Amino acid sequence: MKTKAEALLAWYDRHRRELPWRAPPGEHAEPYRVWLSEIMLQQTVAAAAGPYFRRFLERWPDVGALATASLDEVLQAWQGLGYYARARNLHAAARIVAAQHGGRFPDSEAGLRALPGVGAYTAAAIAAIAFDRKATAVDGNVERVMARLFRIETPLPAAKKAIHRAAAGLTPDERPGDYAQAVMDLGATVCLPRRPRCSACPWSKDCLARAAGIAESLPVKAPKRDRPVRRGIAYWTEDGAGRVLLRRRPETGLLGGMMEVPSGPWVEEGPPPEGPPVEGAWAPLGAIARHGFTHFILELDVRTGRSAAAAPADCVWAPIDALDGYALPTAMKKVVRLALAGKDRLI
């Protein structure tokens, strides 16, 4: 009788997904491609990450090429993927691998975890897929599969340790890289959050949640908290020569290293305080740029104006017709769209 791992690998050999970063059957996965894809797949679904992966690979085909890029280039190429700390860590890790490891990625979980942006899951995934180490990678798809297979009814995140133990107990010595991808594929294509396709699952007969008729209710998740709203004032400032003032955010923290339309402090209570970047005069645009971050919602009251002041040290006068060349996060692109739509209101 086949073990659970053997049954899943047999299913995987017939139904594996074709993904741009995945090595063809029987071929060895390239560590750079695996690492790049795993960083992109943090907080991003495969369908959305695919086009970015292809563009990055065309522009920077190996870790050495990525290490020579500037942070601005990487951030600009990352626009739209969100969670920009991943891009900063990607750039920092590439430089470490190139400078300290001779362009070769560490092949152990411990060595990989020493790289910026590589946590427990990502290290396990790279170790298994790129180096065929016996490592247990547990992402959201794997959590769902294991919670149902073993009927783990403890709510997340408290259930994470039990889920990881269950997953580790199934990880085989043979083909651990294929097995890791097989569990992910099972969760992504069969063991779906809603209406799981149990009849197509190679583990259906062993699934305790299916037997109890509660598969769709697992894993149990703690109720989400309402996100607070933070408010601020964004200053769209033109110089009369077709340029707008942009400011670089601090390297650390939210949207670190990205460019922004300067704004005052973001506050949750009371009216947002003024915080113009230079001396000038601004008028309300009558429009609010609203953007949802993971832990809060941001509302920026857009004001427009002109100024002839020199750009402060952390700012630059950027040509309005060349803004696509700047690493502007989505929240700031919304400010740009509103400002450009109302340019006739500039004082």
Residues with catalytic function: 38
| Closest listed residue to residue 38, CA positions, set 123, 111, 116, 115 | 123
Rounded Cα distance, 59 and 90, in Å: 15
Question: Quick check: 116 and 89 in contact, CB under 8 A?
Answer: yes
Question: What DSSP state is assigned to residue 302?
Answer: E
Cα dihedral sign for 35, 40, 43, 46?
negative
**Token pair for 341:** 């739509």
Beta strands at 315-319 and 229-238: parallel, antiparallel or unpaired = unpaired
C-beta neighbour count of 326 within 10 angstroms: 20
Burial of 124 (0-12, 13-18, 19+ CB in 10 A): buried
User: Which tokens in the block code for residue 172?
Assistant: 């085989």
Question: Could you give the angle at which helices 160-170 and 140-149 cross, rounded to 10 degrees?
Answer: 80
Q: What is the residue-wise DSSP string for 128-152?
A: HHHH--------HHHHHHHHHHTT-
SS (H, E, C) 273-294: CCCCCCCCEEEEEEEEEEEECC
- Give me the residue label for tokens 């955010």: 249
Residue 243 half-sphere exposure toward CB, CA atoms < 13 A: 15
* CA dist., res. 101 & res. 58, Å (int): 23
Q: Report the alpha-carbon distance of residue 131 to residue 178 in Å, rounded.
A: 11
Q: Are 132 and 177 in contact (CB under 8 A)?
A: yes
